[in-house]
Structures are given as structure tokens and as C-alpha cells.
Chains A and B, each alone.
Chain A
Amino acid sequence: GDSVTQMEGPVTLSEEAFLTINCTYTATGYPSLFWYVQYPGEGLQLLLKATKADDKGSNKGFEATYRKETTSFHLEKGSVQVSDSAVYFCALSRGATNKLIFGTGTLLAVQP
């Protein structure tokens, strides 16, 4: 079945460091890919998405490119801030219900 694998955390960085969170997926056909962010005690917020191969999603300095040849959707940011500290979820959707299948989440902690 469809699945998402993302790097385990926690990822601890200093402010202004470069961020990469790896995400790979297994799915038949052409899923849509998403990154959601969850701040402590809150629900999920959509960070960015891509719906077809080679699309690049971007928002708030974060970027991810849909790579079908490597079945990956890695999240990157050039310079992280303390306010980026949160749990990041990679997800895919496909099929009639468009249900989301999530990875287990990666905790990012940014230190001043």
C-alpha cells in the first residue's frame, strides 16, 4: 500500500542554519505531495504542496521539489529561525477519497 517515510528526529539546528528533512514515498500512479507543520498544542497547517512531477512547492522560505525518479519530496530552508521550531509532516494523497497518508513526523528544534 501507499506509504511515506521521513527522517526521524529530533533535528536540532542553530538559528540561520540550513535545513533538510528527507521524505520518500511509495505509491502507485501520481500522488499529490504535501508538507504540513504542527506547532505545539495545535492542529496541522499546510506548508506547501506539489501535484505533479518536477513541481516545486514553496512558502515562507521553505521549498520542496516533487522528484518522481527518486520518489522523494525533501523539505529545505536556507536559514531557519527559532520560530520554525515545530513538527513537520510529509504526506501524500491519491485516489477517490484523496485521503492523506502521513509520515511519522520530524521534530525540528532551532536554538538561538
Chain B
Amino acid sequence: ETGVTQSPTHLIKTRGQQVTLRCSSQSGHNTVSWYQQALGQGPQFIFQYYREEENGRGNFPPRFSGLQFPNYSSELNVNALELDDSALYLCASSLAESGRETQYFGPGTRLLVL
């Protein structure tokens, strides 16, 4: 069974640029959630995708957007990068069944905005 993978592992961008982060869900999972973890903080929910549709969103501006593909992999796009976007971005996958699913996390992508 393949776990959750994310790419790239590290990324450096400058303010105003755009970035795309990628996530491959665990085999058999159909739901992907994205989280932002600032240094020294707990992860914050960005949004979730289920069957290629956004299925809930946290308190993040529209410049954070995403996609889910038919194979359940997902992308997180961030436009007009700001310094405060520097963080670890975590992807988690789960299998939507009972409403009490466990989310399994990937290793994260560490983004630095200069």
C-alpha cells in the first residue's frame, strides 16, 4: 500500500509569484485535504476535495485554490504569494465512508517566500 506523497519537498519563491504543490493520495482513498502549518503552530485547514469537487473550505482567501483529478491526486495553487504564505503545506488523504474517517498525512512541502 502506497502512502501519501507530496512534491516538491522544498520550494523557494518570491513575493507575487504563483506556486503549485502536488499530492498523491494513499491507495484506495478518495478524499484529499490540504493544511497550512506555520512555524511553531498547529496545521490549519485550507480546503478539502471529494470526487473532484471542493467539499469545504477554511478561512483562506480565494488566491488559494485547488484541483482534484480522476485518480484522486490533487494540486494546491497559491497566487500572488505573500511573505506570510511561508509554511509547511500538508496534504492528507482519507476514504469517505462513515463520516469518522481518519486522515493520513504526507511529508509536506516546505514553501519559503522571499
Contact = CB atoms under 8 A, between A and B. Distances in A.
A43 interface: yes
Interface stretch (B11-19, B37-45, B60-68, B70-78): B37-45
B44 to A, nearest CB: 8
Contacts of B94: 98
Contact of B105 (A43, A98, A99): A43
A22 interface: no
Interface residues of A, number: 24
A44 B43 contact: yes
Interface string B21-50: 000000000000101000011111100100
A51 B42 contact: no
A32 B99 CA distance: 10
Contacts of B33: 97, 99-100
Interface SS, A side: strand
Contacts of B58: 99
Contacts, number: 65
Interface residues of B, number: 28
A42 B107 contact: yes
B49 to A, nearest CB: 10
Given A44-B43, A104-B42, A97 B56 contact: yes
A104 B41 CA distance: 5
Contacts of B55: 96-97
B87 to A, nearest CB: 13
Contacts of A93: 100, 103
A39 B35 CA distance: 17
9 contacts: A34-B102, A89-B43, A93-B103, A99-B45, A100-B33, A102-B43, A104-B41, A105-B40, A105-B42
Interface of A: 4, 32, 34, 36, 42-46, 49, 51, 89, 91, 93, 96-105
